[in-house]
């Protein structure tokens, strides 16, 4: 393998990896406040992309993306209010089935609105063949967009959780729900807000990646399972580890193409998921003791 | 009381015979085709009901086992071995000598040499059992979300492999699968003349499977399973080997799924990758949930009604959406199944109670 090819694979891996990381962070945000794994997480990414594509026919690109993110956040909030808010301590099995049902409904709605066709946003700068020379390799500017937007999302989220009072309230809710309620934090609103937040970042990721990977009504499922792989790999609930795990999975996937046919690529990352679940269910970076206290 | 539980099953058999007679009288024999398919899907669903309802373990990968059964049988019975035999492959000649292989004519008059459906069926069942064991041992150690994702992942891998492998026909699947000659005059195939016969084959398979599960649930095993569902730790403390019981039920339900896959593949004369899809697995889970989880009769009834309506195309292009909505509505308002809504209590309430 030439160094140029190696670098090409590496960049592709980081690009996909950062999207997986964003989906994983979306899982983690909701998991931390509710203890639920939202199986409809991938659908937010698809919705963001699809809405932006439709809005772009009327509005300039930045506005279309902004609006698409807002609408997806609203949908996220609605889902929480309609399906989850009023349930009294539901069992995990029940929550899994409900969120799976929601993901099916969103997917089917997308199928009926946008059809089976593959769509995409235009490239933010230039077009498919525009490239930038970087360390001797050709990189599409969109790749830089994806990587930088994902980094900014991660940066802003960590600032948000650390320094704003809303972020601190959400963390309190994640640490101990009862104690947070006693301190006068409305845990129910925090849950709604966590759905909005993870829908929003998912939608934004869906927009920036749309020119490269294209968007289709069922592109959410694959992303969801890979995002979950990454979340588990990093240790469920740990967003910073998810970034490292996401990039790791992206790179493994990119390099696996040189060994096995492309058609088996998904099977590889899922086999990796199974392996992680069997060997280290608390994640590569998580501690076993902490995982033992959590309720899966 | 011992014989009492067989009365509903006998009634079910009578109803199934009645349905066949009714279609004969009204000239709607074509309904039997979908009913036969429904019966095979129901076989899978009652198997899944054992795992989900009684052992309390979710499985989002049962379409995978269905596909393992169906595809294995389809490949073995359609793969032409003549070139291998001509090359002098020892194994193939041995298989031919021991009568495992059959010859038949293809549509274009070419002579095909392939495995007889019976050995193919046995190989498929053994394979499904082996895979269920291999997957089940690590998977069933997981709980909740992890278990759901792991079984979902397993289902997706099977789907991807079926979709990407040349030998499984990729997106086209495998077609021209021959009929399954159970006995000289008993053939599982989609032939119009065999429609009534096939209806009865499917129904008897379903009833036998149902009786097997019903007896299992009423036995020591069933009580152990319910204990696991209630609290795994408590069951363990009472001396129930929870790991082993969970694994055995998982494997048994995988065998049910594989058998359904084998028979339906021979009946349809083919199988495609969509049979292994995630939506199929989710649909089976939905049916078990609607039936009330730990309720074999509920699962059976709902599997019969919903699969039949879906196969008749009643839901049109909203097929998956209908299952998704049903799933949400049931889980929101009646998590214990339709048959256990408080409304029924109202009718059942006896004045002597309180």
DSSP state string for A148-209: HHHHHHHHHHHHHHHHSHHHHHHHHHHH-HHHHHHTT--HHHHHHHHHHHHHHHHHHHHHHH
Facing residue for B146 by CB, picked from A97, A102, A281: A281
A76 pLDDT more than 90 = yes
From residue A280, alpha-carbon distances to A233, A234, A235, A292 in Å are 8, 10, 9, 12
Residue B226 in domain? yes
Q: Are B77 and B115 in contact (CB under 8 A)?
A: yes
**Which whole number is the average pLDDT over A233-259?**
85
B288 pLDDT more than 60 = yes
List the single residue in A with minimal CA-CA distance to B336.
A94
**Which whole number is the average pLDDT over B102-124?**
79
- Residue A79 — φ and ψ, nearest 5°? -60, -45
Q: Which of the residue ranges A113-127, B118-132, B335-349 has the most confident prediction, judged by mean pLDDT?
A: B118-132
CA-based nearest residue to B202, from B212, B189, B211: B189
Residue B12 in domain? no
**Which whole number is the average pLDDT over B132-156?**
85
- Alpha-carbon gap, residue A17 to A22, rounded angstroms: 9
CA-based nearest residue to B291, from B22, B42, B14: B42
Facing residue for A228 by CB, picked from B149, B154, B321: B149
Domain extents for chain A?
A: 28-117+135-217, 218-296
- How many CA atoms, within 13 angstroms, populate the side-chain half-sphere of residue A13? 22
| pLDDT given at position B260 | 94
B1 pLDDT more than 50 = no
A138 pLDDT more than 50 = yes
List the single residue in B with minimal CA-CA distance to A272.
B153
| pLDDT given at position A296 | 46
Q: B325: distance to nearest CA of chain A, Å?
A: 7
pLDDT band at B354 (very low <50, low <70, confident <90, very high): very low
Model confidence over B180-235: pLDDT tens digits? Answer: 877 777 777 777 777 888 888 899 999 999 999 988 888 888 888 888 877 778 88
| pLDDT given at position B352 | 42
Facing residue for A225 by CB, picked from B58, B156, B323: B156
- Alpha-carbon gap, residue B66 to B147, rounded angstroms: 19
Q: Do B144 and A112 touch (CB under 8 A)?
A: no
| pLDDT given at position B45 | 92
**Domain range enclosing B197:** 33-348
Pick from B277, B328, B334 the residue to mutate for testing the A interface (most A CBs within 10 Å): B328
Residue B24 in domain? no
**Which whole number is the average pLDDT over B274-300?**
85
Residue B28 in domain? no
| pLDDT given at position B106 | 67
Q: Are B128 and B256 in contact (CB under 8 A)?
A: no
Residue B66 in domain? yes
**Which whole number is the average pLDDT over A87-98?**
80
Q: For chain B, give the mean pLDDT.
A: 83
B3 pLDDT more than 70 = no
**Which whole number is the average pLDDT over A6-33?**
88
B323 part of contact set with chain A, CB < 8 Å: yes
**Which whole number is the average pLDDT over B55-80?**
89
| pLDDT given at position A291 | 56
Q: Do B58 and A83 touch (CB under 8 A)?
A: no
DSSP letter, residue A81: I
Q: Are A231 and A21 in contact (CB under 8 A)?
A: no
Q: B250: distance to nearest CA of chain A, Å?
A: 17
**Which whole number is the average pLDDT over B334-346?**
67
Tokens coding A286: 């998580």
Q: Do A232 and B328 touch (CB under 8 A)?
A: no
B40 part of contact set with chain A, CB < 8 Å: no
B49 part of contact set with chain A, CB < 8 Å: no
A276 pLDDT more than 60 = yes
| pLDDT given at position B46 | 92
The total number of residues shown for chain A amounts to: 296
Report the number of distinct structural domains present in chain B.
1
List the single residue in A with minimal CA-CA distance to B286.
A97
Other beta carbons within 10 angstroms of residue B80's beta carbon come to: 13
Residue B6 in domain? no
């Amino acid at each position: 393998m030439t160094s140029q090819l190696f670098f090409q694979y590496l960049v592709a891996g980081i690009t996909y990896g950062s999207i997986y990381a964003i989906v994983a962070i979306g899982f983690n945000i909701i998991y931390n406040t509710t203890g639920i794994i939202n199986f409809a997480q991938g659908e937010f990414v698809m919705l963001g992309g699809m809405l932006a594509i439709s809005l772009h026919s009327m509005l300039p690109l930045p506005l279309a993306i902004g609006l698409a993110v807002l609408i997806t956040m609203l949908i996220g909030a609605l889902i929480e209010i309609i399906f989850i808010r009023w349930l009294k301590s539901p069992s995990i099995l029940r929550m899994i089935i409900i969120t799976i049902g929601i993901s099916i409904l969103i997917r089917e709605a997308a199928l009926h609105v946008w059809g089976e066709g593959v769509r995409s946003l235009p490239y933010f700068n230039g077009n498919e063949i525009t490239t930038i020379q970087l360390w001797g390799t050709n990189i599409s500017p969109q790749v830089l967009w994806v990587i930088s937007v994902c980094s900014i999302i991660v940066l802003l989220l960590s600032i948000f959780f650390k320094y704003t009072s809303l972020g601190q309230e959400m963390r309190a809710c994640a640490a101990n729900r009862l104690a947070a309620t006693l301190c006068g934090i409305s845990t129910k609103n925090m849950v709604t807000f966590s759905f909005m937040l993870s829908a929003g970042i998912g939608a934004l990721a869906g927009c920036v990646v749309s020119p490269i990977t294209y968007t289709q009504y069922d592109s959410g499922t694959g992303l969801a399972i890979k995002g979950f792989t990454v979340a588990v790999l990093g240790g469920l609930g740990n967003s910073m580890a998810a970034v490292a795990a996401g990039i790791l999975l992206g790179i493994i996937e990119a390099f696996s193409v040189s060994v096995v046919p492309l058609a088996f690529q998904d099977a590889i990352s899922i086999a990796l998921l199974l392996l992680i679940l069997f060997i280290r269910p608390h994640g590569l970076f998580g501690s076993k003791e902490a995982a033992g206290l959590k309720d899966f | 009381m011992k014989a009492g539980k067989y009365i509903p099953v006998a009634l079910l058999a009578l109803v199934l015979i009645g349905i066949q007679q009714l279609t004969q009288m009204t000239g709607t024999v074509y309904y039997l085709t979908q009913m036969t398919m429904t019966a095979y899907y129901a076989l899978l669903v009652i198997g899944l009901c054992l795992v989900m309802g009684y052992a309390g373990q979710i499985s989002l990968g049962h379409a995978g086992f269905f596909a393992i059964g169906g595809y294995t049988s389809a490949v073995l019975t359609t793969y032409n071995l003549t070139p291998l035999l001509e090359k002098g492959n020892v194994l193939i000649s041995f298989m031919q000598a021991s009568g495992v292989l059959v010859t038949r004519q293809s549509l274009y008059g070419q002579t095909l040499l392939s495995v007889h459906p019976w050995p193919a069926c046995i190989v498929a069942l053994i394979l499904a059992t082996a895979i269920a064991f291999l997957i089940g041992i690590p998977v069933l150690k997981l709980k909740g979300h992890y278990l759901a994702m792991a079984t979902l992942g397993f289902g997706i891998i099977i789907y991807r492999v079926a979709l990407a492998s040349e030998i499984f026909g990729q997106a086209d699947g495998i077609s021209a699968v021959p009929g399954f000659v159970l006995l000289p005059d008993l053939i599982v195939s989609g032939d119009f003349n065999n429609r009534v016969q096939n209806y009865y084959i499917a129904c008897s398979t379903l009833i036998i499977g149902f009786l097997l599960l019903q007896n299992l649930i009423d036995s020591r095993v069933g009580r152990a399973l319910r204990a696991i569902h209630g609290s795994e730790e408590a069951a363990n403390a009472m001396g129930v080997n929870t790991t082993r019981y969970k694994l055995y039920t998982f494997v048994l339900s995988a065998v049910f799924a594989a058998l359904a896959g084998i028979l339906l593949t021979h009946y349809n004369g083919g199988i495609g990758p969509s049979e292994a899809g995630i939506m199929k697995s989710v649909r089976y889970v939905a049916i078990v949930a609607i039936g009330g989880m730990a309720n074999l009769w509920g699962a059976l009834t709902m599997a019969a009604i919903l699969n039949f309506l879906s196969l008749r195309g009643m839901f049109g292009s909203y097929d998956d959406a209908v299952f998704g909505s049903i799933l949400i509505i049931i889980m929101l308002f009646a998590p214990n199944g339709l048959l256990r809504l408080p409304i029924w209590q109202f009718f059942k309430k006896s004045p002597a109670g309180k």
